Structure 1
């Protein structure tokens, strides 16, 4: 089976490397020459633990190669796997045309009878739109169509792909399922087969449910702060309930960011409007999350008003631990906001050696956490990097304001064992 993986940022690169690791003959296709040149050298466009090694192994085995030549990649492909990471704007609206245009431009190069699997983050109805485009413009090709939602998590993507709990696959014909079953069964024993529309809707539903859970937990935490309850203890109580479960997204912390969850909530809101349906819950999820994005700024302003010309240490800049991307990072958004309010920022991140030019006036990038803390009035935990748990609590005594703003309480064990003179501010706990 020859598979062409089309679109090589995070989703596509992980998919291509893991499919090759699973024994398939894979060619990764992308129009960006710099991306391909980097991949040929064994370097992914975004850091993901273990990914570069898997790319090198795949190319060395002969099962993985990369190209910008669509004819070369698609001319003898049995399966085209569409893996563009769908761009989102600052309002979390997806640029679906970005994906559709690129797909439509290459379909004529596929051999007749090939399968097309969509895994890009697209709205329900997208796969049918591609199918109708083919029926109109390429009626003799006889393509098979399927949708399988991506389930990758930055920082843990290889395990997510290679060891999934289950894989959801949507296809509308018995022939499509028969063709694709050997592919997906090699990746996972448990396959949830359903229609294409149901599979697309499942992706929206999962992310909207997770977004709603996060918003619920954070609103609950704000009440806990007022009544003297500890949101972490309430979380433990909730997860002990069999109808809820230990894996539920109920931890108090920062607002969700990055566009991943919000994109699907926005898809559902848009669908509600297009069908004249009332979907107040989805509107409320975004409203509540937008308000909670200001939690850290409100704590900072309360204890260290901007009139004091304060400096703070920002520990962690990336979107989440295990990656090096700054795109849609909560930490970066906070830095920009506080800089505009007159604060000075000294930042450290173990995976960031340089920042974009537009951030150079916003923050000073330090080489060590100690350097960032030195000369600062207080600290903010921006990314929960595991190495921060190894910091000595005495380091924070250099902060003139003896305060750490830590939304998730990530450093709680550090301060429990250390000097109690540090004010440790967390979501959902009385200050």
Structure 2
């Protein structure tokens, strides 16, 4: 069989990244979205998302990529992925209206022999509820991680495929796409696949919560979490790839959605989800670490401090500010003089209309009493600590992600604060 033509419906983060990655594997791609303005932006090179490698791969594979708002193009597709981003509210509840609309659109527009694949994250039970006698429907667990989306799409660890009948062979056109990535393929019933994504994120949250809890204890008893981590990675029950980096709580929206989904199902079916609610509470507590540290080191010690905040995105290499610790911090700094810089997110996204929008990291630092690193962008690591110190009024550095060497910072006069180390 010749290589199938692949369509992706929904050109937001998930759909666009997945579409471009499939083109890199040598397939012909149709990227469809009903939003004509969005398609015009993409065709003009004005991408709605920021991810490493994305611009370069679009240019490299331009002959294999068609971005369109014309439904007729979907008639050419052997496999059609429905892949809009599923947004969440402040409680982690998913808004399924767009995935419902685009899935119905794909059902109506694609050829009758085309395989339809739901790629967006949906709650258990969703895909089976969409089965139709006249359509071939599958669910595929997406591997999207903000800031690493292209790499994850190109080199997945495995494919988890939800099926109406897992014992039946996967259609050849769909199989050719999955096999092109050379990773294990795990067919299972729809509900298992939908819950598998949540299960993966639950294990991640458990690791994050453990690291955060013990890192805080390190700060109080004189231990250093960075010294403990190598011992954990050498334990085969935990492993070298375990997520053991302390942080500022869960953010980005996806993990919060999964926790909310498990709590909702637990309440509905009477299962115990107390540990999940404890993780949620721990995450909310961790978000205030910077504010607590800032109060102890600065706000309680001096009047009218100038605060430089580096980073607005919730993590590096992404434009997203969903549940960003930086945004939460800035909401609490309204009365203070704040200078902001992020290499991707505009300062206007901050909930402080009086904050100064700096042109660079050093511009933000100029005249500040304290520098707070809220997003560990790699370019921040290249800053010269001595040069930073020379531009500041007071020398206080709050660096939760430890992008700087604490000993070197102390050598040039900084009072240095980071997660997991006693001050």
Task: Please report the TM-score for the alignment, with normalisation by the length of structure 2.
Answer: 0.92
For 2:73, the equivalent position in structure 1 comes to 73
Q: Is the 8 A contact 2:79 2:173 kept in 1?
A: no
* Deviation at residue 359 of structure 1 after TM alignment: 4.2
Q: What is the root-mean-square deviation of aligned Cα atoms in Å?
A: 2.0
Give 1:108-119 correspondences, 5 Å limit. 108-119=108-119
Is 1:192 the counterpart of 2:200? The answer is no
Is 1:330 the counterpart of 2:330? The answer is no
For 1:319, the equivalent position in structure 2 comes to 314
For 2:147, the equivalent position in structure 1 comes to 155
* Deviation at residue 100 of structure 1 after TM alignment: 1.6
Q: Secondary structure at the match of 1:338?
A: coil
Please give the per-residue CA displacement for 1:186-229, whole angstroms capped at 9, x wherever unaligned: 12232222222211111000111111211111111111112111
Deviating 4+ runs (over 6 angstroms):
none
For 1:48, the equivalent position in structure 2 comes to 51
Task: Please report the TM-score for the alignment, with normalisation by the length of structure 1.
Answer: 0.91
Distance 1:357 1:267, change over 3 A: closer
Give 1:16-415 correspondences, 5 Å limit. 16-59=19-62, 61=63, 63-70=64-71, 72-131=72-131, 135=132, 139=133, 141=134, 143-173=135-165, 174-305=168-299, 308-339=303-334, 342-352=335-345, 354-356=346-348, 359=351, 361-397=353-389, 398-412=391-405, 415=407
Unaligned runs of 5+ in 2: none
Please give the per-residue CA displacement for 1:260-289, whole angstroms capped at 9, x wherever unaligned: 211111111111112122211111110110
Q: Distance in 2 between matches of 1:99 and 1:109?
A: 15
* Deviation at residue 65 of structure 1 after TM alignment: 0.5
Distance 1:393 1:418, change over 3 A: farther
Q: Is the 8 A contact 2:312 2:350 kept in 1?
A: no
Q: Distance in 1 between matches of 2:321 and 2:283?
A: 20
Please give the per-residue CA displacement for 1:79-111, whole angstroms capped at 9, x wherever unaligned: 120111100112222112332233224412222
* Deviation at residue 325 of structure 1 after TM alignment: 3.2
Q: Is the 8 A contact 2:385 2:412 kept in 1?
A: no
- Aligned residue pairs total 416
Q: Is the 8 A contact 2:358 2:364 kept in 1?
A: yes
